[in-house]
């Protein structure tokens, strides 16, 4: 197979920048669309990359770009809980209405679409329901989600944090319907908590937006602020290194034998389940052992309520473990990174970046 012409939407984000680098390294031709480009770094100068700084919510040449591509990858999303609480209508409009325009352009021009969804569509576990009466609520079977058989359990409407999950789920269902009625070729990806270099920004950078939990913890450790656990930090997640994730995504891009046509894939590491509290404790231990400067205070761990941290309407999934049988069977993929080394590697990148920026600022001031 020769090089693909790939339209990568959201290419400047965390996942998109790593995926763009892999696509270029494999010889493909990439048109990258995003509002931001800093995470693309030196790849911006690559001869096979065309970068378009574009807000998809405006007028833009969507049909022309789709028609000129072999494959469309859609990563565009508002994807963190702080935004679901603050701007739920914007979350719905971007994650469903604007993304639907992209999917329908792919239908019109007969192009394969790789649509990024979210593990948030699964919602809560049965064990979280007040009257579940399960024999063993801790059995991982109640928290292990399979793409084609697991039920979706979401909170009530007044917990509007679920608008993100609902928008993504509805997009999946419409894309699936286009496959049924019009023979549309698509692949849906549900990521499970990817981590690695370039994830988000640190809150102390004063950028617009709300980063994910790792960045809040990393920022607290670097500045000596408390590690804040929302609702006690009892929620559990399975973390996946971006290197493992991109390997799986790239196999979906290649789609050998057409095995990914009209399929949904979980991408995650079922071995890496930790609670948010455990994550804070592991990160604090790593920081004290590897990165702390002698004499600096070590962040304490504190608790606060979800409404206090995020605002009214907050809710959360209690636990989610990916069933990756399909990725193993159809793609021969297996995640390799374990949670301790994953966190340590990601922390090292952010410590280096923080100190580089601090030293550069010190030089300018002096």
Report the C-alpha gap between 360 and 240 in whole angstroms.
32
Low pLDDT (below 50) residues in the chain: none
Query: What CATH number is associated with residue 125?
Result: 3.40.50.720
Identify whether 164 is a catalytic site residue.
yes
The verdict on residue 227 lying in a domain is yes
The verdict on residue 224 lying in a domain is yes
The domain of 355 spans 77-365
> Contact 306/262 with Cβ under 8 angstroms?
no
- Total domain count for the chain? 1
The verdict on residue 193 lying in a domain is yes
- Residue 206 is predicted with a pLDDT of 57
- Residue 55 is predicted with a pLDDT of 93
Catalytic site residue from 84, 122, 164, 287: 164
Report the C-alpha gap between 316 and 252 in whole angstroms.
29
Buried b (16+ CB within 10 A) or exposed e, 296-310: eeebeeeeeebeebb
- Residue 162 is predicted with a pLDDT of 96
The verdict on residue 356 lying in a domain is yes
The verdict on residue 88 lying in a domain is yes
The verdict on residue 238 lying in a domain is yes
Report the C-alpha gap between 44 and 61 in whole angstroms.
21
pLDDT in tens, 120-163: 999 999 999 988 889 999 999 999 999 999 999 999 999 999 99
> Contact 280/229 with Cβ under 8 angstroms?
yes
Report the C-alpha gap between 10 and 53 in whole angstroms.
10
- Residue 81 is predicted with a pLDDT of 85
- Residue 309 is predicted with a pLDDT of 86
């Amino acid at each position: 197979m020769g090089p693909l012409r790939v339209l990568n939407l959201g290419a400047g984000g965390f996942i998109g920048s790593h995926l763009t680098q892999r696509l270029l390294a494999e010889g493909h031709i990439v048109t990258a669309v995003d509002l931001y480009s800093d995470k693309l770094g030196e790849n911006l100068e690559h001869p096979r990359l065309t970068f378009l700084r574009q807000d998809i919510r405006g007028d833009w040449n969507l049909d022309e770009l789709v028609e000129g591509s072999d494959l469309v990858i859609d990563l565009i999303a508002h994807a963190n809980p702080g935004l679901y609480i603050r701007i739920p209508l914007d979350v719905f409009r971007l994650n469903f209405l604007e993304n639907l325009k992209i999917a329908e352009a792919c239908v019109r021009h007969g192009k394969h679409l790789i649509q990024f969804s979210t593990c948030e569509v699964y919602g809560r576990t049965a064990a979280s329901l007040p009257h579940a009466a399960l024999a063993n609520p801790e059995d991982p079977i109640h928290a292990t989600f399979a793409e084609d058989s697991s039920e979706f359990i979401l909170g009530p409407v007044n917990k509007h944090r679920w608008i993100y999950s609902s928008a993504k789920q509805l997009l999946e269902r419409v894309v699936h319907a286009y496959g049924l009625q019009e023979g549309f070729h698509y692949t849906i990806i549900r990521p499970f908590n990817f981590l690695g270099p370039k994830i988000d920004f640190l809150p102390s950078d004063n950028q617009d937006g709300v980063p994910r939990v790792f960045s809040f913890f990393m920022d607290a450790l670097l500045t000596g602020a408390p590690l804040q656990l929302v609702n006690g930090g009892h929620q559990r997640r399975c973390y996946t290194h971006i290197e493992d994730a991109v390997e799986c995504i790239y196999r979906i891009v290649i789609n050998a034998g057409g095995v990914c046509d009209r399929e949904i894939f979980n991408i995650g590491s079922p071995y890496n389940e930790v609670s948010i509290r455990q994550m804070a404790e592991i990160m604090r231990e790593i920081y004290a052992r590897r990165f702390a400067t002698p004499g600096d205070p070590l962040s304490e761990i504190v608790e606060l309520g979800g409404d206090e941290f995020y605002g009214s309407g907050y809710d959360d999934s209690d636990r989610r473990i990916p069933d990756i049988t399909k990725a193993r069977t159809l793609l021969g993929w297996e995640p390799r990174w374990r949670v301790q080394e994953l966190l340590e590697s990601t922390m090292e990148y952010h410590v280096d970046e923080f100190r580089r920026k601090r030293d550069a600022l010190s030089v300018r001031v002096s």
